[in-house]
Amino acid sequence: MAASAGGNGVPEPGPGLEPIRTLIVDDHALFRRGLEIVLVTEPDIEVVGEASDGAEAVERAGESLPDVVLMDIRMPRSNGIDACRAIKDVAPSARIIILTMSDEEEDLFDAIKAGASGYLLKDIPLDQVAEAVRSVHGGQPLISPSMAGKLLTEFASLARRDHEEPPQELPAPKLTDREMQVLKLVARGMNNRDIAKELFISDNTVKNHVRNILEKLQIHSRMEAVMVAVREKLIELT
């Protein structure tokens, strides 16, 4: 049964449905407070804790087992990239959105490799943060437009290197024909629901295929799957 909509058009958790448990991580207390004020007004989102650095974020994640983590990169004790990797160990199902001032390509790529599901710059309007939480929780990777352009540039660069680099010693991972179809649609930015409609299969079947792809490629996120697929020439960007 679908969740009912509240007065502001936002779905309210229906019977048996839990709100999206969200952990806020940033070393600036004022910014954390601003995010909390925005998110607590959303009927389908519950703020389950906050942390001021990466080490504390790992502790809080292990205690609260959040669905989504909103986390900065530049923090004391442990940065957001290292914390991202550690959180994946203590709360494997948590989806992590990097929310940062850093528009450095290296930070973007490191975040993806660490398993982040989203990378947003702090110039995002606060009223869009809740929708970002919902999108990532629903399985849709999310990147700020300016950073997405850098990611596509890197994809193109990887493709151009094909004829310049010697052949890989290790064979490329073996994906089934259906997994290749799913991977190509993921590369086009489609979410699980749209992929299911395109291939005339169920959402759960798509989820299973995505999980198998990540396991075979030995990675953690859909975005990194596309990068590996381009590098290994499993797919071509057009």
Helices marked H in 91-191: 105-113, 129-137, 145-160, 177-187
Which pLDDT band, with edges at 50, 70 and 90, does 160 fall under?
Answer: low
Rounded to an integer, the average pLDDT of 191-213 is 89
Please choose, from the candidates 138, 110, 116, 30, the residue with its C-alpha nearest in 3D space to the C-alpha of residue 69.
Answer: 116
Task: Return the structure tokens found at 120.
Answer: 């947003």
Which pLDDT band, with edges at 50, 70 and 90, does 193 fall under?
Answer: confident
What is d(CA 168, CA 165) in angstroms, rounded to the nearest whole number?
Answer: 8
* Residue 94 half-sphere exposure toward CB, CA atoms < 13 A: 33
Rounded to an integer, the average pLDDT of 89-108 is 91
CATH topology of domain 16-146: Rossmann fold (3.40.50)
What is d(CA 236, CA 137) in angstroms, rounded to the nearest whole number?
Answer: 28
Rounded to an integer, the average pLDDT of 200-204 is 91
Task: Return the structure tokens found at 14.
Answer: 């229906």
Task: Return the structure tokens found at 235.
Answer: 């797919």
Which pLDDT band, with edges at 50, 70 and 90, does 56 fall under?
Answer: very high
Please choose, from the candidates 193, 203, 198, the residue with its C-alpha nearest in 3D space to the C-alpha of residue 181.
Answer: 198
Please choose, from the candidates 103, 65, 80, the residue with its C-alpha nearest in 3D space to the C-alpha of residue 26.
Answer: 80
Q: Is the pLDDT of residue 237 over 70?
A: no
Q: Is the pLDDT of residue 144 over 70?
A: yes
Q: Is the pLDDT of residue 9 over 60?
A: no
Of residues 192 and 55, the one with the higher pLDDT is 55
* pLDDT tens digit sequence for 117-141: 999 999 888 889 999 999 999 988 8
Q: Which of 25-29, 100-104, 151-155, 215-219 has the highest mean pLDDT?
A: 25-29
E strand segments, the chain: 4-5, 11-12, 20-25, 45-51, 68-71, 95-100, 118-121, 142-143
Share of the chain above pLDDT 90, in %: 45
Q: Is the pLDDT of residue 218 over 90?
A: no
Task: Return the structure tokens found at 80.
Answer: 């957001």
Of residues 164 and 29, the one with the higher pLDDT is 29
What is d(CA 62, CA 91) in angstroms, rounded to the nearest whole number?
Answer: 6
Q: Could you state, in order of their start, the residue ranges of all structural domains in the chain?
A: 16-146, 154-231
Q: What is the residue-averaged pLDDT of the chain?
A: 83
Of residues 222 and 75, the one with the higher pLDDT is 75
Note the pLDDT of residue 7: 47
CA distances from 232 to 10, 149, 154, 173, 185 (A): 41, 21, 14, 8, 17
**CATH of segment(s) 154-231:** 1.10.10.10
Which pLDDT band, with edges at 50, 70 and 90, does 170 fall under?
Answer: very low
